[in-house]
Structure formats: C-alpha cells, structure tokens
Structure 1
Amino acid sequence: MPRVWKIVSWIIGVCVALIVVLLIVIATFDWNRLKPTINTQVSQTIGRPFAINGDLSVRWQRERRASGIGSWIPWPEFVAQDIRVGNPDGASQPLFAQLEALRFRLAPLPLLAHRVEIPVLYLTQPSIDLERNAQGQANWNFDLADSGSSSTWQLDLHAIGFDRGHVTLNDAITKSNLQITMETLQRAIPYSEIVAQQSSDAREQASKTVGASAKTALAKQADKEGNEPGKTNAAYQFVWQAVGKYQGLTVDGNGKTGGVLALQQTDQPFPLQADVHIGDSHMALVGTLTDPLHLAALDIRLWFSGTSMAKLYPLIGVTLPDTPPYATEGHLRANLKRGASHFSYDHFRGRVGGSDLSGSLTFDTGGARPKLSGTLSSQLLRFADLAPLIGADSNAQKQQRGDATPQPADKVLPVEPFRTDRWRAMDADVTFSAARIEREAQLPINALSTHVIMDNGVLTLDPLDFDLAGGKVASNLHLDGSTTPMKGTIRLKARHLKLKELFPTFEPMSTSFGEINGDAALDARGNSVAELMGTSTGELKLLMNDGAISKTLLETAGLNVANIVIAKLFGDKTVKINCAASDLTATNGLYDTRLFVFDTEDATIRVNGTVNFASEKLDLDVRPASKGLRILSLRSPLYVKGTLKNPDVGVQPGPLILRGGGAVALGIFAAPVAALLPLVAASRGAPDNTCATVLEQMRGSSKAHPAPLPAKTAPKATPAH
C-alpha cells in the first residue's frame, strides 16, 4: 500500500507542478512574440493591413460579476497598444482606424465549447476615417477572406465601451464632409435631466423659426418621457460635436451618449441625444437605443423645425410638401432592418406657419417604394399656410426658395409647374382634417377633410370635402404625375353656399337668403394650372339665386372682364340678381356657353360665346333685354374680345334690342334649362328660390318661341344709343 500511495503522490505532484509551471509560463510569457502571427492572420482575414505596433499584454484576475465556478477561475484581460487598420487600395488616406489601445476580458470556460465570450470590448481614443467614392466603394465595407469551411468557433461580444475619439466622414454620394469629435463628460448626467434641457432648447429654437405660438404649442406636450421605466437608470457619459457639410448644406451639431453600448442585452438602453442644424433645418432628439445589432428598438423624443418641410427630403429621405416655417415635437420609434425599416412618429404636435398640426405617422421602407401613412388634424388652418401645398404660394415665397417660374406679362393663368419630380419616390396614405380654415378676406371655409393617396406617382384626394359659407363642397381630385404631361381629373359638387356668408363684407347680401349650387366634371392634362385649364374637357354648371353684384365687388374679386361688362350695363350701382344660371361645356380648353343668363329686376342678360383658356382669348356676346318700362344705361348688345389679361369690351353695331325680345332669345334653351333643374332641386330647402320660377319660364318660352339666336356680327366701335 505505501508503494501505491507513493505512485499516486508522485502523479499528483507532477500534475500540480505542470499546472504551476504552465501558470508561470502563461504569466511570464512575452505575448509580443505573437504579434507577427496575429498581424498576419488578421490582415489576411480582413483583406487590408492590420498591425499592433505597441505592447501586447495579458493580466489575470477573477471576475466578480461571474457566477458559479466561473467566479473562481481567473479571467485573462488582453491589452493591445497602438493598433492600426489600413485602408484598401484607392483610398485617399493610408489608415482606416487607429486606436491608442484595445482592451477586453475573456471568459475561459466557454472556450471549451469553442465560444469566445467577451463581456465588454473597450476602444481607447479611436480615430476613424470613413470614405466613399462616387462609384459607391466604401472603406467601411470589409472583404473577409473565405476559408472554404465553416468555423466551429463563435464570437459572443456583449458590449462595446467608448472613449474620447475622432471620426472623419467623406462621402461623395451624400456630398458629406464631416468632422466628429467625442470627449468625456466631467460627470455622468441622468437621462431625465437631458430630456428637460433638450425640450427647453428645442422649443426656444421653434419660437425663433416659427414664432412664440410654436413654443406654446410644443409646451403642451407633457415632459413624461424622462420617467419612463427602463430609462431612469440611463446616464450620459460622453459629449460629441459634428461640423462640416451634408448634402452640400452646412452642419453644426452636438450631443451626448452613454459610455457602454450593450449589443445583446435589450434591457440595457443606450442613451442618445443630438441637437443638429443642417442648413436652415433644425433636428433634435433624446432617447435610447437597445438591441443595436438588429437596430430593433430606437425610442426617442424628436423635434423638427425649419423654413420648409420640403427641405427635410435630403436629410430623412421622406418626400414632404413645401410649407411655411414649421416646428413639431413627437415620439419616434423605429425598427431598423436592411431594406425593411419601420418608423412611427406618434402623438406629435406643432405649428406650420400660423396653423396647428397634430397626429401620428408611420414610414415603411419594405415595399417597392417607401410609404408614409397616418392621420393628421388641425384645429385652425390658415389658408396662407395651406397655399404652398397646392401651388398657390406667392411669387415672393417662390423667389425665396429659388424655384419661381416667371409669369408671362400677357397671361393670367399661373404657369408655375407642379413639382411632381418626387411623387414617384414615395407612396402615401394619409387622412387629414381641419376644424376651421382662415384666410384673408374672411372667406369662411370650415371642416376640411381629405384622404390623400400617392401610388407610384399618382396622387388622389378622395374625398376632398369642406364646409364653405354655410354649405358643403364634396369633391375628388386625381392627378397622374407618372405620365408627361400629367393627367388630371376633378369631380365637384357645391351645395347650399350661402351668399351672405360667402360675401360677408358686401352689405347688399347681408340679408339675402340666396345660395349657390354647382357641379363640375373636368378632365385635363398638363403640369401647371395654365396647361390644365388649356386642355380641360368636361362641363360646369352653376346656379345662384337672390344675390347682388356691383362693379366694386367684382374689382375686389379680381374679375376684370365681368367688372367691365357690369360697369357698361349698369354703371356703378349695385344690381340685385333674381337668378344667375350657367351651363358651360369644355373641349380642350375651349369653354362654350350652352346657357349663361342673369335675371335682374331691370333686365335679363344673356351671354353667348366662348372662352379659350389655352390662348386666354375671349369671344362673347352680351345681350341685355329690358323688362317692361325699365331702362338700362345700355340696351345694345356688347361684344367681349381680347384676352383675360387685356379684355376688349365694346358695343355691337345694330339697332337697340326691342323690349320683350328677351323672351324670343331664350327660346332655344330647353335642353340647358332642363340640365340645371337638378341644382334647383338641391336647394329646395331655401325659401322662395327664384331660380325655379326663372328656369320654368325659360323652359316654357322655348316651347312657345323656338326661334334661333341672332347671328353674330363683327364688333365695331359705335355709340351706345
């Protein structure tokens, strides 16, 4: 037995000695001997030069955060000094990255299962140079060598720790040249403190861009983000600053981040904060990022402000309309995946010019084209703020943007083209409603609602409804921007528009019970208002009862042609209108008056002829017929020639119109009158609609006097009487 114990003792002693010798060798081993091998292997793997130029060392100590037997076994901590990674051929700089040191601890037990587990990889004073040329070749894309067989080893990196450093970006595709520096904060700053400070700063910037009303509107958004579970323990440890150019615009930004980015633990949020000015657009954010390997949980408060939302396109890649100065605040959540990202901007509110705006939007990139969806609402929408969205902004605003098209001196219809170049870059499905719309001259438009759909360059607003002057306008609009020229279609029904509300400052209508009813159905093609009107085909019907008209009113409305005609017929006095009825047909921009009649207390005025919106030329006859013994200031027919810009109104040659001749002249209008009767039916609720009586008389006259209209004669300048 003693001999057996001696053998066992020798074996144990030899093993212990070997372990001790091994530990001594490992502890005293000069790891720098491995640098040539490591440099060669890494260089071959990443396809570019790699070198550890400084000291390579290993220290051993227990890991207190480990559990079980792992807490008793010493863990090696590797430290490599002065690491340099070269650039591929063709780069302007020799180095891609340079580190003062790289440090990490390695869990020993997982090595038995061929798993390299690193809790935290620390980067000390990194300096990184990022480049991409015009052909799309980027130095941050690594061509890893293929060994031909799959490795049995697995890398398990839990987190990355940062230190002060410097990043340079030169990107020919995005026209970017940025310098980013990162420094350590003197103290860690709690998440809630950063939220409060960023909210205050963003609202101050909003007030500078939009006005004090924007600061008040954004302040209504409760600052509750700082107390959200999972964020109260987050702290900011580094401050960064960025200067340079992006998309050719000047960049000046700063922000703060955490110190350790957890790559796998989704319960450890990484705090982010940024305050960036790009051109005249301002973007600020504060929030957290978790699960960065999959970019699946970006959760931030986001502020935008600037002179126009359209200028955000090169920054965020979302096609937005031209707007007045704006400011918004909301909650952005993102699930970022290559080719199929999802963003949601929830419960945001803000100001656009003098209008308020709120709602929720989503943006998805997983389809054939990115798609914007959501719901927007406004309690007060100023028409001046809405105008740029529909191409009605002023020349001064367009000049400021640098996209104004000179309007020809002899044209009235706007030639400014619609900006359809970006319509095919994105799809949309957005509903919008506004409780009230204000505009100059106090035009009472209320309760606007529309459903906007953009599909591969085709824009549809269906419905496009709003309340106007106590009545309702129901319409739908279809614009096909995928073709050149653009194709457009509009269908519109206007019902019960009250005259006293439509013209609130015109005293003669203040007690009127009259109203307007009308229908429109037009198809057109073209990339401007002038082109669309110049190619329009369809019909327009309008009926107005118990109204009034005057030279002053028409001057205010900018109706130059009608102003001159009324002045010649009635002088400067206000004329009460029993009924105004029109039925126009359009063919390629040529509008023909199937029926155009004004019935007044003194006379019935019939307008016959055409208006060519393609050339803006006028060719109309105006034929007044006095009633009974009433005498007009002008009883001879008028001609209306010239253009919309420069009309030529004069007296037709020939004898005075005989009293009562109007009844004969109206005799051929049976069909047009019948076409307008549905508009009378639509206004049955109005008391004593005089148009019903007038149209019935006209239809009755057509049966008794089926006489043709007098032939047109060439206009000549002759005396009125």
Structure 2
Amino acid sequence: MAEDVPSPTATHPAPAPSAAGRPRRALGTPLAATLSAVATVIGLLVLAWTILFVTKGRFLKHSFERIASSQSGRQVKVAGDFQLYFAPINVKFVAERITVSNPDWAGRGNFFSAAKVDSRISTWSIVTHKYRFNWLGLQDAHVDLQWDRAGRRNTWTFKSGDEGGDPFELPAIRRGIVQGTMVRYLDPRMRIEAAIRVHTVEARDTRVENSIRFDGNGTARGTRFTMSGSLLSPNATVSGGENKLQLHAEAVRTSVDLAGTLPGFTQLEGADLRMIMRGRNLADIFLMFGIAVPDTRSYRMNAAVTRRGDEWRFTRLKGRFGDSDLSGRFTVAMKQPRLLLTADLATRTLDIIDAAPFIGYNPDKIEAQGGAGTIERVGGAPRILPDAPLRIEALKNFDARVNWNVNRVRANRLPMSNIKLGLTLNNRLLKLSPLNFSLARGTVTSDIIINARRNPVFTDYDIRLSPTPMGVLLAGFGVEEAGTSGTVKARVKMTGVGNSVRDSLANSNGRIAIILPKGSFWTRNIQLSEIDVGTFVQKMFEKKLKEPVQINCGLLGFTVRNGVAAADPILIDTSKNVMLGRGGFSFKNETLDLAFRADSKKFSLFAGQSPVGIGGYFSQPSINVITPELLARAGVGLGLALVASPVAAVAAFVDVGDAKDAACGPVLAGANARAQRDDKGRPRDDVGKGTTAKSEDGKRSKGERKEQRKKFLGIF
C-alpha cells in the first residue's frame, strides 16, 4: 500500500559532505591582521613624520594657539614663524614673536613674550608631563610678574577658574642659551615696581656653566632703588629645586644684603634667608614699604627672614643704632585693609642721645653734633622742642602692636632705667600705654594717646611721677644725697593740638603739678633765693650749707592755657621761710620768665628781699641772683646813709619776718592758687591768681612787667 512505503528522507539520512567539499580558513589570519594594523600605524606615523618634516608643522600653528590658550586660560599667539615636528625623535618647537597674555585682572600686556624660542623637547617627557628641554634657545624674552591689589593672585599661577591652579615651573634644560631676558615685577599693594635684567645663561649637559646673574632697578613708594644678585645654584634652579640666592640692594642711604635659599625659582614661602641692613636712618627703608617708625641714628641690623602665608617674619634680630643695641623679632603681615606690624624688642643699654630722634629731632644733626644737635636758632632765639611732623600719611597704611623693653639708659644727671613701652596703632589712633620707666628709685607712668584721625593731630598727655627721692634725682646737680630726705612727685595732664611735638605743646591746655612732701633738702645753692646778706658770701664762696633745709610742703603748680604756663601757685613752706614764685613759661617761644623770693618767718637784719629771676629759654636758662631791685635797695640805703645816718641805711635791708605758714593740705593736693590757705585757714593773698599777664605770644609788655614787679616785689 502506498501509505506503507517509507519516505526516503525519513529512513536514510543524507550523506555527510566530504572533506574536500569544506571551505578552507587562511593560515595565520590574526597575526597578519595585527601586522597589517601595525604597518598601517607606522605608515601613518612615517607619513605624518614626513609631512611634518617637509612642512615643518607650520600648518599646526593655529591648532597650537587654540589648544595652548585653552589649557592655560591665556591667549597664546605666534606672530612670526612657527615650527612643530620630529627631528628626528625629539619634538622640535620654534616660535617667533610668541606671546602669552596676562590674566584679565592684570590688564593689557603679556605674561611672556620672546623674539624667538628655538627648542628640542624630549618626546617621552611630553607623555609624562615632566618636560625636559634637550635644547633651548631663548632670545629677547620678557616676563611680567604681577600681584593683584589684594595680594591674592599673581600672573605666574595659571588657573582654570577663580580658584586652583599651579604656579609656572621652569622645565629641566640639558643644553641651551638664554639671552636678553627682562623680568618686570609689580606689587600694587606694596607700591613696588622693578625691572630686572638677567644676564646671558648657558647650560650644557643639564648643568648651567656659571651662576645666573641679574641686576635692575625700580621704585618703592616713589623711592628709587637699585639691585644686583645671582642664583648660586642654577642647576637646581632650572629644574625647580632649591635655590641659593644672593641679593644686594641700595636705596635712600640704605644698603641691604640677602643670602640664603628659596624653595623654588618664584617661591618665597618657606624661604630661609639672612638679611644684613645698614644705613643712616632706619625710618628710610620702612617708609619705602609704607610703614612709619621713629627716626634713628646710623644703624646696622641683621636678621633671619622668611615668609609664612601672608607674613614676612624677621627673627633673631640683632644690631645697633647709634651707641645703643637692639634685639628681638618683628613681623609684617599682609592683612586687610592695612598691614599689621608686630614686634617684641629689647635693648640692654639705650644712649639718651639715640632716643632724641624718636620724638622728632634731626638724626643727622644728632649724629654730627651730639646733644647740641637738639637746639636750633629761630630768629636768633634757641629752640629745643622738636618740630618734625608726625608721618600721618604713612599711619594710614598699617596697624601695629609693639613691646619694647630697655634695661638701662646712659644719661648724664638722669638716673633712668627699666623702660617699658607698649605701643598700639589702630587706624591712625596711636597709644603709648604703658610708657613707664624707673627714675631715681621712683617710677614715671605715662599714657599718651595720639589721635591722627583728626587733622591737626590731637594728643592727650597723662604723665605721673611716683614719690621719688630728691637726693638721687638731683645728685648730678649738686644735691647732697646723704642729707636729703625729701621726695618729689608730679603729674602732667594736658591736651594739645598739632602735628609735631612743638606744635602740640604750643597749643596745649592743662595742668602741671610738682609736689614736695615733708622732708629735708641739702644743696650748695638751696637758699640763694633768700639773698640774706649774712649767708650770701658763705653760699657763693664756701659752696655748701652747714645744715639741710627742712621742707614742710611745697608745690610748683602751673596752669597751661593755649601753650602758656602760669605759676598757679609756686609755694614752698620751709622751717625758716616761705618761698613764693610768680610768672611762667611759654611753649610757643620756649621763653622762661619766673621770679622766686623767700619771705622769712623770723626777723633778719640783712635780707635783700629781692627775688631770684629765672629767664632765658628752655635750652639756655639764665639765673639772675643780684637783680636790679637789690641794687636799687643798695642805692636807697646809700642815699639814706648820706642824708640821715648809717642806721637809716640798714633799714633798706630789714626783713620783719612776717611770712605766713602754709596750710599743707591744699599744697600736697596740688590745688591751684585760689585754693591755697595759710595755717590759720585764711586765703593766701601772696600766691597770685594763676596768670602771667602775658599776651598770646607768651611775652609781656613793658607796662605789664613793671606792674607785676610792683605787686610781687613791693618795691619802695
């Protein structure tokens, strides 16, 4: 049956194809493909090499400018010939009139420009980003190094944004020559601008043949300076290693030498430098950086110098100014909105002449004339108050915190020691507090505030002298210390307006009080004011007293109005007499016009009753013991002797001894003349009213002087 016949395909599988009928795979096809690919790459490289070699890669100029500009964030231009190709293995790079722009904040101009850069760069170093020049020829290059006004950004740090980025580092150089290189440095914050010329540099086998020498000039706050120096380790310098630096600079009668190491070619952070500085006036060099310090005599200083963050640190400071020593440390911090100067200083011995320039005396005159250099002649009259103006403009640039300790002061007749000065400056408000020192076993304590925020400057003086032994204080002036048990204390409380010490005092107001508590006083000239005929010869020729004067209490008080100080009062009560004084002195023209007289408490047959006059000037006082009034009395006595009898002549020199004892309470309190009383509690009518009857210029008219004499002297 048909359905029982099996299908041929179902019962007999199809025969397998014979081996001869299979497709054959080519032997070694993967290796051939690899070799083919390698050959293609090599061929392309050879083609590229050939194209680049033939064309010198000049067609890559615009691509180079675009890629370099994108990577650096600066505009890179090549205005002349450009070559970039393999020769044969190194990358040969040539660019004529190449420029790299400054960042936008630095304004127009270029960070780098060169007439020609001719180099061969290791190809492998490009791959590893550790660039090595097997040859570099650099011709007429200019580099512009700038800081921004805030001191936070610079032109040699390439940034991809507002933050980040790395400073430019010089690559390693095997062989090369650099000619005609100029570097410009600009720091607007410090107002420093410099142009530096780098001498020709040659390198062979990764070593520079000699030191890299440079010189230049510039200005700092308008003051010109010159500089020269060298990098003594140029082989480390060109590879970004540690740099040994020597630098010499001169400006405004000052020379500075720096020597040491820099961590990198353009890196000051962590520098280890030693500075030696010498000059005529330390203030000169500081003013170049906008910092006002007191004037000094000629000086020589040395210190270790480094930079940490925004601070320049000067440590291990040692040196001398004039005949005084100075040591310690100070730091200049680049703070906002002003620099901050901090210092801790110490002096073993301060010569008093060296301190004179601190308050405004001319250091050059002090250097040449010593103490005589403090005196000037104005219209024939001597002046001793300093008139150098405070450097107000410089005070705007910085704040300060200074501590200075002085162990000993070398001064004739002035036993000073242990000076402690604390100085703070905050936005032109200068405080000298404390300004303390030991004086003859007493202490002077001062707080002086100088407000330069006002124009003219306003100064507040508060100076106190604690009870001090007069014998020690005045030993240099003839006081017999062994017989003097008296003490003295004082206070000056004034305010003044003016930009110099002289102007400030010439417009001052306030009070000066010198108080003498109970004690004895022994000196060669203590009773000259009494002019008692019986002891006058003894005092003038024997030059000593047989016993001390016993002081009950005393006050030398002055009220200062517009620069003129009036006795208010001068009253010294002793066991034998009461000494009174009138007149005053003027800070305006530095004149003295004082008269002292002693009224005896006991009857004295021979008493001149004539005052001792103190006149002249602060720097040249004069003492007039035998005054015209005493001579007038002698004339009257002689006339009486001729007309009447010798007994009548004696009457001209009689002192009835009616001086009133003083109530010491108001005296010891430093009270003014109106508050003074006698020992009975009655107001005194012999101490004046605290005025000098002087005009605004500190001078009295002839009529005023005559009237004052009549009131004070009681002339016949």
Fold shared, TM-score > 0.5 on shorter chain: yes
The CA deviation at 1:296 is 3.1
Equivalent residues, number: 611
Q: Return closer, same or farther for 1:377/1:157 CA change in 2, 3 Å cut-off.
A: closer
Show the counterpart of 1:32. 57
**1: CA distance, partners of 2:156 / 2:229:** 33
**1: CA distance, partners of 2:437 / 2:292:** 25
**1: CA distance, partners of 2:316 / 2:688:** 66
Show the counterpart of 2:567. 593
SS in 1 for 2:396: helix
CA deviations on 1:232-261 (whole Å, 9 max, x unpaired) are xx9995231314453453525223254367
Amino acid at match of 1:662: A
Matches within 5 A, 1:241-280: 241-244=214-217, 246=219, 247-249=222-224, 251-259=226-234, 268-280=241-253
Amino acid at match of 1:708: D
2:348 is the alignment partner of 1:379: yes
> Retained in 2: the 8 A contact 1:35–1:52?
no
1:239 to 197, 212, 224: 212
Show the counterpart of 1:66. none
The CA deviation at 1:316 is 4.0
Largest Rg, 1 or 2: 2
Show the counterpart of 2:272. 299
Show the counterpart of 2:93. 79
> Retained in 2: the 8 A contact 1:125–1:164?
yes
Amino acid at match of 2:31: S
2:86 is the alignment partner of 1:58: yes
CA deviations on 1:401-431 (whole Å, 9 max, x unpaired) are x999974544645261332322222111011
Show the counterpart of 1:502. 473
> Retained in 2: the 8 A contact 1:459–1:478?
yes
Show the counterpart of 2:256. 283
The CA deviation at 1:373 is 0.7
Amino acid at match of 2:516: L
The CA deviation at 1:675 is 0.5
> Retained in 2: the 8 A contact 1:324–1:352?
yes
Amino acid at match of 2:226: V
The CA deviation at 1:708 is 2.9
> Retained in 2: the 8 A contact 1:312–1:320?
no
The CA deviation at 1:364 is 0.8
More off after superposition, 179-188 vs 314-323? 179-188
Matches within 5 A, 1:339-378: 341-378=310-347
**2: CA distance, partners of 1:525 / 1:587:** 10
Matches within 5 A, 1:557-576: 572=540, 573=543
The CA deviation at 1:155 is 8.8
> Retained in 1: the 8 A contact 2:228–2:248?
yes
Show the counterpart of 2:680. 703
The CA deviation at 1:186 is 10
SS in 2 for 1:3: coil
1:651 to 629, 633, 646: 629
Amino acid at match of 1:530: R
Show the counterpart of 2:638. none
Show the counterpart of 1:536. 509
The CA deviation at 1:345 is 1.0
> Retained in 2: the 8 A contact 1:304–1:327?
yes
The CA deviation at 1:273 is 2.1
Show the counterpart of 2:596. 622
Matches within 5 A, 1:299-338: 299-335=272-308
**2: CA distance, partners of 1:632 / 1:485:** 55
Show the counterpart of 2:648. none
Over the aligned positions, Cα root-mean-square deviation in angstroms equals 5.3
2:707 to 696, 709, 714: 714
The CA deviation at 1:180 is 1.9
> Retained in 2: the 8 A contact 1:639–1:650?
no
Matches within 5 A, 1:363-512: 363-393=332-362, 396-397=365-366, 407-410=378-381, 412=383, 414=385, 416-421=387-392, 422-439=394-411, 441=412, 443-512=414-483
SS in 2 for 1:443: coil
Amino acid at match of 1:634: G
> Retained in 2: the 8 A contact 1:132–1:170?
yes
**2: CA distance, partners of 1:35 / 1:250:** 45
CA deviations on 1:4-55 (whole Å, 9 max, x unpaired) are 5443233112111012213323444324323542576469985585345375
**2: CA distance, partners of 1:398 / 1:284:** 24
Q: Name stretches of at least 5 consecutive residues in structure 2 with no aligned partner.
A: 1-22, 634-651, 690-705
> Retained in 1: the 8 A contact 2:301–2:319?
yes
Q: Return closer, same or farther for 1:126/1:351 CA change in 2, 3 Å cut-off.
A: farther
Amino acid at match of 2:346: S
CA deviations on 1:160-208 (whole Å, 9 max, x unpaired) are 45754432659899696745233449999xxxxxxxxxxxxxxxxxxxx
Q: Name stretches of at least 5 consecutive residues in structure 1 with no aligned partner.
A: 62-75, 189-233, 554-561, 678-697
